[in-house]
A and B are shown apart, each in its own frame.
Chain A
Amino acid sequence: NAGVTQTPKFQVLKTGQSMTLQCAQDMNHNSMYWYRQDPGMGLRLIYYSASEGTTDKGEVPNGYNVSRLNKREFSLRLESAAPSQTSVYFCASSQAPGGYGYTFGSGTRLTVV
């Protein structure tokens, strides 16, 4: 009954460093998403994967890449971190792209200095 698991929970990076945020779900959901949450901005969609083998850009994809490794796992990579990427990152999954509620992970708090 883990739902959506994100790792790590906290990370501090220096400008220019790279890292990968991991996300895994155990609900056999087809669709997975990465959002970032900034104060006063709500959640903004970075990338999503409607089904295994597909990925698409969301509202704010610049500076990020994603990999849908298999049906369970969807990773988010920052190739060269910038202070503007300081945020809380949430992974979510749903049974299908539309018509269903999303299940969210507990988030990764990333600080880029």
Chain B
Amino acid sequence: SQQGEEDPQALSIQEGENATMNCSYKTSINNLQWYRQNSGRGLVHLILIRSNEREKHSGRLRVTLDTSKKSSSLLITASRAADTASYFCATDIFQGAQKLVFGQGTRLTINP
């Protein structure tokens, strides 16, 4: 089963609204990362939050991490049409070697 699971699988909101995506994971992590993927393109790194951090901001992005609940959330404020993409959480874990394990992603659609 997946180490990281995003919720919801798909999200559709109006431009200007806030979008929240959640990620749950199973094992201890070194850090957790969020990536964006536009249709037909590669993944783009958005933000990294370390296991000893609880919240991190980058522009319109806010990431929280709760290691006791093994969960993270990504908030995009004041959404724009250009934010339409798939968003993936990835957990940096040690399984024999350091690895980044991706969830299945949340498909975000921003309606104009």
How far is it, in angstroms, between the C-alpha of A90 and the C-alpha of B41 when the chains are bound? 10
Interface residue total, chain B, C-beta cutoff 8 A: 26
* Contact status A45-B101, CB under 8 Å: yes
Complex-state Cα separation, A40 to B102, whole angstroms: 12
**A15–B92 CA distance with the chains assembled, in angstroms:** 35
Contact (A50, B43) CB under 8 Å given A42-B2, A98-B30, A101-B48: no
Say yes or no: A50-B98 contact (C-beta < 8 A), given A42-B88, A101-B33, A102-B43.
yes
Q: Within 8 Å of chain B (Cβ to Cβ): is A56?
A: yes
Q: Which residues of A contact B102 (CB under 8 A)?
A: 35, 42-44
Please report the C-alpha to C-alpha distance between residue A35 and residue B90 in the assembled complex, in whole angstroms. 13
Inside 8 A of A43's CB, which chain B residues have their CB? Answer: 43, 88, 102
Residues of A within 8 A of B90 (CB): 102
| Known A-B contacts A40-B104, A98-B30, A99-B30; A90 and B92 likewise in contact (beta carbons under 8 Å) | no
Assess whether A58 is interfacial by the CB under 8 Å rule: yes
CB distance from A106 to the nearest CB of B (A): 5
Q: Are A105 and B42 also in contact (CB < 8 A) when A43-B102, A56-B97 are?
A: yes
Indicate whether A74 reaches chain B with its CB closer than 8 angstroms.
no
Tell me how far the C-beta of B67 lies from the nearest C-beta in chain A, rounded to whole angstroms: 16
Do B88 and A48 have beta carbons less than 8 Å apart? no
